[in-house]
Each structure stands twice: as C-alpha cells, then as structure tokens.
Amino acid sequence: METKKQSAENATVTDYIADKRPLLFGLGFGILFGFLLHKGGVTKYDVIVGQLLLTDFTVVKIMLSAVVTGMIGIYFMKSLGWIKLSLKSGSVGMNIIGALIFGVGFAVLGYCPGTIAGAIGNGYLDAIVGGLAGILLGTWIFAIMYPKLKDGILQKGEFGDITIPRLLKVNDWVVVLPVAALIILLLVWIQNAGL
Amino acid sequence: METMLAFFTDVSWSPYVVGIGIGILSWLSFLISGKPIATSTTFARAGGMIEQMIKGEKVAERAYYKKIKLQINWQWMLVLGVVIGSFLSAILSGDFKVGVWVPSLWVSAFGDSAFLRVIVAIAGGIILGFGARFAGGCTSGHGISGTLQLAVSSWISAIFFFIGGIITAHIIFYFIA
C-alpha cells in the first residue's frame, strides 16, 4: 500500500516534470533564436527600417536563407514521417488586409513581434516603453473586436490550411526544389548587386 | 579557441550564417517540440493575462482568449528566451545599449525627442499587434516558419507584410520627414 502510494506520488512528480519539459525546450529555442537575431543585427530599428527603405537587405538575406534551409530540412523530415507540418489556415481577408495592417505597423514601429523581444534584450528603450506597450494594446483591441471580425472579414475568401504543393496537386519536391533554386538565385543576385 | 571565442563576441555575423542557423533551429523545433517558431500570439496572451490580473477570471471567457488560452505555454517561453538570448549576445559583444531611446536613423529624420519616438512607437505597436492577430501570424510565424512549410496563407502574408511596410516606410521617410 505504502509503495503504491509512493509510486503514485512519484508519477505525479514525473508528470509534473514531463509537463514542464516542453516549456524548457521553448525557452532554449527562444534563447538560441534571440542570440541569432541579435547577431544578425535585426534587433535594431535602423536595420529593419533600412530594409523597408530598400537601403539595407539584411532582413531579406536572413529570412530567405532561413526559409531555404528550413524548407529543405522540414520537407526531408516530413517525407521520412518524422514530423508533421503545422500550417496556419488563411483567407484573403486575413492574409491580405491583416498583413497590410501589419506592414504599416512594422514600418511605424520599426520592429516586429519577434525582433521587439530581441530589441528589449538589446536594451532599446523605445522598444520596451513604446513598442511593447503598443503591441499589447493592439492585440488586446483585436481580442475585443474578434467576435465581430471572425464571421466577417476574417472569413472573406477562406482557403484553409493548404500548402502550395497541395494547391497545385503535385508532389512536394516539385515545388520545394524550384523554390529553393529561385531563392538561392535571388540571394546571389542581391549579393552581386551589392545590396 | 580564441577564434571560437571571437565568434561569440563578434557584434554581428554574416546574415547567411544567421539565416541558416534559424533554418536549422526550425528543424529542431519541429523535431523536438513539434512546433514552428512563432511569437505574436504570446503578446495577445500576455495582454489578456494583464487584463485578468486587473479584472479577474471572467476575462478568460472572452471568445478570443478561449481560443488562444491564457496560459504560459511553449511559445510564451520562447518569446522570453528571445529576450534572454539577445541580451546574452549583446552583453558578450559589448553591444548592450544603456539609455538609448531614439534609434539613429529616426534621429536623422525626426530629431532626438524621446517623447515623439515613444508616442510613435506606441502607435506603431498598436497597429502591428492588431495586424499580427488579424493576419494570424507575424514575421516569424508566417514570414519564416509558414513560408518554409510552403503554406499558402504564409506566402501571401509575407508578401503583403513587405508591401505594406515598404510603402509606409517610404511615406514616413520621404514625404513626412
């Protein structure tokens, strides 16, 4: 009886730790991500706005090389059955109107949600006092308006959580390889153009 | 050993090294946690949690908070980690900023008033936060993690993030300034 009770207690402790383990991995991935964002210079307003003014192509270089690297690995692991994709469903209303609103905020603030966390770590006070407060307010306003938006504009032109290969009804690699080649060509072109 | 150390104390790395690093990080995040790197929902959760502290439990009943769930989860810890990781890199490379309110590019166009910069940053943050939740993701969730999975929603979003951003930045720096 005693041992049974003991093992039940142990089980809850192990459950508790198992429960927290994903959080620790999240923290670890975040630390690495933040470290890389700072090393890339994208925790800085000047670099991000420089990209939007088309005078500094650091952001595009980082994003495209992350996408090409990530895509090949993710589709490789998917084809082996190691992972499942995690796709966001979308609509014309969400992904065009919402993204344009985001773009305006991106330029006005000069940081995005990931890079502002990096900018805070980097010590920028406009990010901590201004940007963070603004983002919290903006997402809160969205939460309040959500019941009205969800059956209206967010649904306009809904297309679900599809990938480009599924949309075109082709094998994944028929899209992955040309997209990878195009991204690499684009990066070479950007580099050679001295951007 | 010294070059190894210099690598970590360098203020910046090649954008290609950083990008490939983030790409590899996305493999590990899928493989180990089964999740893509994303950040913007955390701000919505944090805002809801703050409101909950002020107004009490009933806040969690709001439709959007029921959908995203007001709790500290994997992504919440990731965002916290980004702050820590950037801080570590900044400290190691002597790039941690103390008392910097106004970025230099902003100073060159609008002067060094911290008040003006903070007001504009709050306004920009509101638009950004609203837009991120409207679009269902941000530059990381859609722009990197979604596009690398070839999600249609993410490619459209990423393209329109930049269309909106490029037009607005040009208006701010070439018309208003």
Under the banding of pLDDT at 50, 70 and 90, the label for residue B84 is very high
Put simply, the answer to whether A118 touches B83 (Cβ < 8 Å) is: yes
Quote the pLDDT of residue B18. 98
Contacts A–B by Cβ distance under 8 A: 527
Under the banding of pLDDT at 50, 70 and 90, the label for residue B177 is confident
Residue numbers in B near A133 (CB within 8 A): 122, 125
The interface pTM score, or ipTM, of the predicted complex is 0.96
Under the banding of pLDDT at 50, 70 and 90, the label for residue B1 is low
pLDDT tens-digit map of A1-59: 445 455 555 566 666 666 788 999 999 999 999 999 999 999 999 999 999 999 999 99
Quote the pLDDT of residue B172. 98
How much is the mean pLDDT over chain B? Answer: 96
Domain ranges of chain A: 1-40, 41-192
**Length of chain A as a residue count:** 195
* Neighbouring residues of B161: CB distance < 8 A, sequence distance ≥ 6: A99, A102, A103, A106, B135, B139, B142, B143
pLDDT tens-digit map of B14-61: 999 999 999 999 999 999 999 999 999 999 999 999 999 999 999 999
Residue numbers in A near B148 (CB within 8 A): 66-67, 70-71, 74
Quote the pLDDT of residue A10. 58
- Residue type at B59? V
Rounded average pLDDT over A145-173: 96
Under the banding of pLDDT at 50, 70 and 90, the label for residue A96 is very high
Put simply, the answer to whether A113 touches B136 (Cβ < 8 Å) is: no
Rounded average pLDDT over B74-101: 97
Buried-state track B70-103, b at ≥16 Cβ within 10 A, e below 16: beebbbbbbbbbbbbbbbbbbebeebbbeebbbb
Quote the pLDDT of residue B147. 98
Chain A: nearest CA to B96, how far in angstroms? Answer: 5
Distance of CA A67 to the CA centre of its chain: 11
